[in-house]
Amino acid sequence: MSSIPGKFVIGLTGNIATGKSVVRRMLEHLGAYTIDADALTHRVYAKGAPGYQQVIDKFGKWILNKDNEIDRAKLGNLVFSDPEAMRQLEDIVHPLVRQAADILVKRATQSVIVIEAIKLLEGDLRNVCDSIWVTNAPEETQVERLIKKRGLSREQALERIHSQSPQSQKVTVANMVITNTGSYDDLWKQVSEAWKQIIPGAKEKDASDDTVQKMKPVKVAKELTGDFTVVRGKPKHASVIAELITRLSKGKRSMSVDDVMESFGEKAYMLLQIGDQMAGVAGWQVENLVTRTSDIFLEENIDTAKALEVLIEGVEKASAELQSEASLIFALNELANQETVWQKLGYEKRTPETLGVQAWQDAAIESTSAGSGLFFKQLRQDRVLRPI
């Protein structure tokens, strides 16, 4: 067992573009608390964080951008082409990431912890893990993903892949190998089966949790009344979620079951109910300790203020379990104009550059779309990567 009483720690690793983050997200859907150690690495050397000055002292001020933040692209280009520079950077960030991970693990309420790290086996984090899981994919699949998702050239993709230790070395020491060749459905089955092997009672819980499956969303012709409740949607509820988003968006977001299944690799869904009627949905995620909520769709004939209150409170409660520091809501159309409602819920209308913390700004810039209004709420004061 891990060195932390009452916790079972899964170390999740695998080379670039093998699907580690998707598997981590799946384990989060199943009830684990998950930590992206690689994202913590970026926070370690953000301005004001404990590694910021150390990285500048080691590599020079040329890596700073116009806002005096460390430019990750410049730093990445340096360390990926120079093994010695990579080692020097890791000597700075790994101890700090370990400290941050220890803090998050100890205050997590979940009994299963997942730590995702691309260099898990090379670092100190390996020593806290009870089980090592490795994601695996053919090299050509890795190349295709890096070209498509990161905009790299084929040569750049191969350079990134070959700069890492051979994938076969990781597979050899794994307790569990998850093969990711592109099918989300197949990947979900592998992860679910692996989860059932380590979690007592997981099979029985999965079989009994069919509340949402029994719901039958239908077009509403009259005002809905009754108590509002929320439930977290899961991949097995994909058909319900697809129908709900397609109908409530009036076809602007036409979703198939496959689309929803794929989106579960990045986000979760909170479903709003009135009695036995589905009345709304929100897509949300906690990434790098920041909650992002988008894809909010509601029935027209309901109390919008009450619906948003219950739906967003559901997201915030789930976010608290994931130790989120801040909540960002990206509201479209008429929901973006509900400023009084958002204020009542503790949100301020903001722009990304006014958020102050680099991780919050990055999340806002990445998720903001044309025509959306950004609403911000800080969820906790004790940020994990203030200077340690």
Cα-based torsion angle of the residue sequence 321, 113, 97, 285 in order, rounded to the nearest 10 degrees = -40
Q: Is the pLDDT of residue 3 over 70?
A: no
Q: What is the mean pLDDT of residues 13-18?
A: 95
Q: What is the structure's pLDDT at 260?
A: 94
Q: Which of 144-158, 174-188, 199-213 has the lowest mean pLDDT?
A: 199-213
Q: Give the pLDDT band (50/70/90) at residue 164.
A: confident
Q: What is the pLDDT of residue 385?
A: 67
Three-class SS string for 312-354? Answer: HHHHHHHHHHCCCCEEEEEECHHHHCCHHHHHHCCCEECCHHH
**Least confident stretch, 11-20, 52-61, 78-87:** 78-87
What mean pLDDT comes out for the span 85-112? 92
Residue 219 has a pLDDT of 45
Q: Is a pLDDT exceeding 80 seen at residue 212?
A: no
Give the chain's mean pLDDT.
89
Q: What is the pLDDT of residue 208?
A: 45
CATH superfamily of 209-378: Gcn5-related N-acetyltransferase (GNAT) (3.40.630.30)
Give the pLDDT band (50/70/90) at residue 35: very high
Q: Could you report the per-residue pLDDT of 243-290, keeping only the tens digit for each?
A: 999 999 988 899 999 999 999 999 999 999 998 888 999 999 999 999
> What integer is the mean pLDDT of 366-370?
88
Inform me whether the pLDDT recorded for 370 exceeds 90.
no
Tell whether the model's pLDDT for residue 224 goes beyond 70. no
Q: Would you say residue 294 has pLDDT above 60?
A: yes
SS (H, E, C) the chain: CCCCCCCEEEEEECCCCCCHHHHHHHHHHCCCEEEEHHHHHHHHCCCCCCCHHHHHHHHCHHHECCCCCECHHHHHHHHHHCHHHHHHHHHHHHHHHHHHHHHHHHHCCCCEEEEECCCCCCCHHHHHCCEEEEEECCHHHHHHHHHHHHCCCHHHHHHHHHCCCCHHHHHHHCCEEEECCCCHHHHHHHHHHHHHHHCCCHHHHHHHCCCHHHCCCCCCCCCCCCCEEEEEECHHHHHHHHHHHHHHCCCCCCCCHHHHHHHCCCCEEEEEEECCEEEEEEEEEEECCEEEEEEEEECCCCCHHHHHHHHHHHHHHHHHHCCCCEEEEEECHHHHCCHHHHHHCCCEECCHHHCCCHHHHHHHHHHCCCCCEEEEEECCCCCCCCCC
Q: How confident is the model at residue 226 (pLDDT cuts 50, 70, 90)?
A: confident
Q: Which residue has the higher pLDDT, 246 or 223?
A: 246
Q: What's the confidence (pLDDT) of residue 119?
A: 87
- Asked if the model's pLDDT at residue 124 lies above 90, the reply is no
Instruction: Write down the domain spans for the chain.
Output: 8-203, 209-378
CATH superfamily membership of 8-203: P-loop containing nucleotide triphosphate hydrolases (3.40.50.300)
pTM of the entire predicted model: 0.88
Question: Residue 387's pLDDT band (boundaries 50, 70, 90)?
Answer: very low
